[in-house]
């Protein structure tokens, strides 16, 4: 947990007064179901115990002031409630500003400005959804400060709108939903098409979730993420000429195989194949977990990585290496890249007795082959966003 007293002192130093409230929103890791959320499929994320904390105080004018303890050299960044637009020079504040803009687009009016300080322990650019956590945190803090009638799912949807329409990333709903709706010691089985969800206890017996940060930072907006979404849209348009579907993940793998020739482009076909097969893997993986079949769950995680590497091409040599190290160790049930891709983290399910060997092999091999150090976190699964005080 952050040093809350240090945050309060920093708030007073930055803004000259005390904060009204303290909120928290977690990062997330997705166990399986990658790039299915914008294709109408299923995902299986869980909220983590690390995330972003925020202190807020309402003002009596139209000014918003932002300060991040993670980027102290940037100082206090000011903006107005009026005329909000994306500004690259505004750095991280585009996310909270975007949430206010998204509220305004939904005719949710904020009566005055506010001062907002954040501090977090999510590795930036690691694929653990620091941006989604910041969006949900902003929505929650502003909701509670101004007494707005918004549910946690509303806050997740506002965060997605911020990403899509303000910041320019064509993401799905998974990241914000996991941050808003997480539950301690459980993962969320979410049907992204219907927003129907259930909590599945993470009864991993003698195993644990291990996250490894490759320290290859990705910037999804400037990466091939939006291109992948467009390729899926092209595949969907062509498949619709042969099937009565609204989303790629409406198809089962056998149905896709019967009509995939209509796509007519090998690259676009591989993109569609990943989404459709990944959705099927996710549904089967959750059933395996419910039966306490961790071995089968891990095998589906491995198949997910191979598909992301070969069909969707969102892995990179460094994350491939981390996964291959994991696969070489007895006691590792499964390992895959997690998040949007093009860098970031891997997620593994590892027997508790094998974690030491995994850490040693990563320390030995990863820096030698890549010139980078990897950070390893044994994850704890926590609750979603909430007010602390």
DSSP string covering 291-356: TT-HHHHHHHHHHHHHHHHHTS----HHHHHHHHHHHTSTTEEEEEEESS-SSSEEEEEEEGGGHH
Contact 44, 189 (CB under 8 A): yes
CB 262 within 8 A of CB 239: yes
**What burial class does residue 60 get, using C-beta atoms within 10 Å of its C-beta: 0-12 exposed, 13-18 middle, 19+ buried?**
exposed
**Would residue 175 show up in a list of annotated catalytic residues for this protein?**
yes
DSSP of 237-280, one letter per residue? HHHTTTS--SSGGGS-HHHHHHHGGGT--HHHHHHHHHHHHHHH
- Surface-to-core class of residue 55, CB atoms within 10 Å of its CB (0-12 exposed, 13-18 middle, 19+ buried): buried
Retrieve residue 288's tokens: 């395996």
Options 115, 119, 175, 250, the catalytic residue = 175
Contact 134, 118 (CB under 8 A): yes
Q: Environment class of residue 100 by beta-carbon count within 10 Å: exposed (0-12), middle (13-18) or buried (19+)?
A: buried
The strand ranges marked E within the chain are 21-30, 42-43, 45-58, 63-68, 77-80, 114-120, 186-191, 196-201, 207-213, 332-338, 345-351, 375-378, 386-387
- Give CA–CA dist 54/249, Å, rounded: 37
Strands laid side by side in the 114-120 sheet: 77-80, 63-68, 114-120, 45-58, 21-30, 386-387
Q: Tell me how many degrees the CA angle 235-240-243 measures, rounded to the nearest 5.
A: 120
Hey, is 182 helix, strand or coil?
Answer: coil
Catalytic positions, written as ranges = 175
């Amino acid at each position: 947990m952050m040093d809350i007293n240090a945050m309060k002192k920093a708030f007073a130093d930055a803004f000259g007064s005390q904060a009204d409230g303290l909120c928290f929103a977690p990062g997330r890791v997705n166990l399986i179901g990658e790039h299915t959320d914008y294709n109408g499929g299923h995902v299986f994320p869980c909220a983590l115990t690390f995330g972003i904390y925020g202190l807020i105080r309402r003002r009596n004018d139209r000014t918003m002031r932002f300060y991040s303890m993670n980027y102290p050299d940037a100082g206090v960044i000011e903006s107005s409630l009026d005329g909000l637009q994306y500004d690259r020079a505004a750095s991280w504040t585009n996310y909270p500003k975007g949430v206010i803009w998204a509220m305004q687009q939904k005719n949710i009016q904020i009566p005055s400005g506010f001062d907002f300080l954040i501090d977090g322990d999510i590795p930036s650019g690691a694929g653990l959804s620091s941006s989604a956590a910041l969006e949900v945190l902003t929505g929650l803090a502003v909701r509670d400060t101004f007494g707005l009638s918004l549910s946690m799912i509303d806050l997740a949807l506002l965060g997605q709108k911020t990403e899509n329409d303000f910041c320019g990333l064509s993401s799905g709903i998974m990241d914000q939903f996991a941050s808003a709706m997480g539950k301690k010691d459980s993962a969320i089985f979410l049907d992204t098409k219907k927003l129907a969800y259930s909590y599945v206890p993470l009864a991993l017996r003698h195993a644990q979730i291990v996250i490894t940060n490759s320290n290859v930072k990705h910037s999804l907006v400037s990466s091939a993420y939006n291109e992948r979404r467009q390729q899926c849209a092209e595949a969907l348009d062509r498949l619709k000429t042969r099937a009565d579907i609204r989303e790629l993940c409406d198809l089962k793998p056998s149905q896709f195989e019967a009509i995939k020739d209509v796509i007519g482009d090998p690259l676009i076909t591989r993109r569609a194949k990943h989404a459709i097969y990944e959705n099927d893997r996710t549904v089967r993986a959750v059933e395996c977990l419910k039966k306490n079949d961790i071995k089968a769950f891990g095998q589906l995680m491995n198949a997910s990585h191979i598909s992301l590497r070969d069909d969707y091409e969102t892995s990179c040599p460094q994350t491939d290496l981390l996964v291959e190290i994991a696969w070489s160790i007895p006691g590792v049930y499964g390992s895959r890249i997690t998040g949007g891709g093009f860098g970031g983290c891997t997620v593994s399910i590892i027997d508790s007795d094998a974690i030491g060997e995994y850490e040693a092999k990563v320390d030995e091999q990863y820096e030698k082959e890549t010139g980078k150090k990897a950070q390893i976190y044994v994850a704890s699964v926590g609750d979603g966003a909430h007010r602390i005080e």
